[in-house]
Structure 1
Amino acid sequence: MGKDKVENEDLIRWGWPEDVWFHVDKMSSAHVYLRLNAGQTIDDIPSSVLDDCAQLVKENSILGKKTNNVDVVYTMWSNLKKTPSMEVGQVGFHNDRDVRKIRVEKRINEVVNRLKKTQVIKENVDLRAEREERDRKEREKAKAVEKERKQREKEELKRKEELAKLRSYESVMKVANMKSNKDCESDDSDDFM
């Protein structure tokens, strides 16, 4: 979660493709990010986690904190759109159909207090370095997968070549092993009958 609009700007810029962004709809609020595990989608988020994120966003909105029946919007980080004409911390969306809403009727003190107790504040976080490290690891994984795919293709080609050799007459049909009728000695006796 960003502590102010400048930090929100860094979060917008250096978010991860696995991040889900949360914000109070049509009000100023903190930007809250939920990082999904590999292979998870926005549809896999448990409702209890959605509720926690929505409560956290509501709690960190000056106007939303005081208001009941607040809508919280959320979408994948990759759907956030930032143009040069936008103010610091302001975002739009590439595709409005990929934006979802959850209604927060009122503040649930137990949830907010639990989240505050488990809150970890990190100072001097280098979001760019974290993103670059993540991207480097992803590239390494992709290279390893590609290397393994090429190795499997190479082994399959070798196996096919060996199979083709076994099926051919190449090993049997050598000039040194060949004889013709002319090469056979004849003793003028006909053993045929």
Structure 2
Amino acid sequence: MVYYFKSTVVDPPAFVYVGKDKFESGRGINQVWLGGGCLFHVDKLSSAHIYLRLNEGDTWDNIPEDLLTDLAQLTKANSIEGNKKDNITIIYTPWSNLKKDGSMAVGQVSFKDQRRVKKILVSTRENMIINRLNKTKVEKQPDLQQEREDHRRELRKRDQAAQQQRKKEEARVQKERQEKKWQKDHAYDDLFTEENMESSSNQNRAADWEEDFM
């Protein structure tokens, strides 16, 4: 079983996955639930693996500050040792930076590139945040691979809709430009119609038309 949490400090809300134990935490990595998400963990202490599913448009290095605070507090609260201590460090990294091989213990991970690991200092537990997050807590046995595929399918649908909207806008702008060009090219058409040319011709004036100016 695994735990799901929802952080409402961002809009749309962010979804977080927490392995119930080290075996479930390992499944989160092995089944590649997130793809574009992040792992949070207490530095140098045992803790659950906290996985953040990034919202569309977010990247691991531009996570909103309030959401980082939620994740850091949740990570601290899910560490037996870390939850009892003040001034602990939480580390986080993109999922793609995790390194896992057969020689490592269940639930243990390391990183491909230490430069892509960031740290958050947590001075103390903030019960208000933990209580808010715990109200959203749901325990279930998910099909993590299917969730990942469903999430990707939804992103593809959004991309396709955005592309269609861009094409419509491009067509509208092109049509508008063509209409403006036509109007510019034909702005003086009415001045040279046969009727206007005839009314302005001296040949069709009365013989005494010059007297009008005397």
Query: Smaller-chain TM-score range?
Result: 0.5 to 0.7
Structure 2: gaps (5+ residues):
1-17, 165-214
Q: Which residue of 2 aligns with 1:12?
A: 29
Q: Which residue of 2 aligns with 1:184?
A: none
Matches within 5 A, 1:102-181: 102-121=120-139, 123-135=140-152
Q: Which residue of 2 aligns with 1:2?
A: 19
State the identity as a percent: 50
- 1:135 Cα deviation (Å)? 4.7
Count residues with an aligned counterpart.
Answer: 146
1:58 pairs with one of 68, 71, 76: 76
2:92 pairs with one of 74, 77, 83: 74
2:60 pairs with one of 42, 47, 58: 42
Mapped to 2, the partners of 1:105 and 1:64 lie a distance apart of 11
Paired residues of 2:38 and 2:95 also in contact (CA < 8 A): yes
Q: Which residue of 1 aligns with 2:112?
A: 94
Mapped to 2, the partners of 1:15 and 1:128 lie a distance apart of 6
Mapped to 2, the partners of 1:88 and 1:120 lie a distance apart of 24
SS at match of 1:125: coil
SS at match of 1:22: strand
- 1:127 Cα deviation (Å)? 0.6
Mapped to 2, the partners of 1:117 and 1:138 lie a distance apart of 28
Q: Match for 1:105: what amino acid?
A: S
SS at match of 1:26: coil
Structure richer in strand, relative to its length: 2
Mapped to 2, the partners of 1:137 and 1:116 lie a distance apart of 27
Q: Which residue of 1 aligns with 2:188?
A: none
- 1:15 Cα deviation (Å)? 2.8
Please report the TM-score for the alignment, with normalisation by the length of structure 2. 0.62
1:88-146 residue CA offsets vs partner (Å, 9 max, x unmatched): 0000001110000000011011111111122222x12011222234456667889x69x
